[in-house]
Amino acid sequence: MRSAGYTYHSESATIPPQYKTPGGSYELPPARHRRLSPVEPHDTVPTKFCPRCATHKPLSGFHKNRAKPDGVQGYCRPCFVTLNSDYARRHPDWSRNTHLRKTFGITVADRQRIVDAQGGRCAICADLFEGQYRSKCIDHDHETGQIRGILCRRCNIMLGHARDRVDILAAAISYLGDTLP
């Protein structure tokens, strides 16, 4: 007996009228048993299985990836972020190198050469870059992309607030010269 929400699989798309019952369902003879499978309503959201968390999620729960046949990553968004974060934690040089290469076209070794050429100091305030975790910011011209030097975070923020304009910095110097005792 056919129930609502299921479709009849056969060679023909229509079911012969002699199998229709007054209630609108279909009754098939035992000899012609056919496999019944759920019908997906037209408003069903397509899903994909995430092998890491072992759940089916809608395609909107996956990052896009044009290289994949289905157009989305193999892992759902939370699992993908976790995997990438774990990898970056285990391989800090890979993460740092990737950022420097994509953003500035240099490697960690190139940056270290610039720091060494500056004597291990900020190019503006001349403070030492002490310790591994002291921020070393790459100062560059935002129009040309040319690297100017390595700055400490404070000096980099100062230039950013001045919008790299010499007249603003000159006005700040004049202001400090006039107001300091």
pLDDT tens track for 43-99 = 678 899 999 999 999 999 999 999 999 899 999 999 999 999 999 889 888 888 888
CA atoms within 13 A on the CB side of 81: 5
Q: Is the pTM of this model over 0.75?
A: no
Band of pLDDT at residue 36, cut at 50, 70 and 90: very low
Torsion angle in degrees (nearest 10) through CA of 36, 41, 46, 51: -40
CATH class of 93-179: alpha beta
Q: Taking a C-beta distance cutoff of 8 angstroms, is the pair 120, 128 a contact?
A: yes
Q: Tell me how far apart the alpha carbons of residues 47 and 75 are, in angstroms, rounded to a whole number.
A: 12
Q: At how many degrees (to 10) do helices 108-117 and 92-104 cross?
A: 80
Tens digits of residue pLDDT in 114-168: 999 999 999 999 999 887 656 899 999 988 989 999 999 999 999 999 999 999 9
CA 174 to chain centre: 45
Burial class (CB in 10 A: 0-12, 13-18, 19+), 147: middle
Q: Where are the domains of the chain?
A: 6-38, 47-88, 93-179
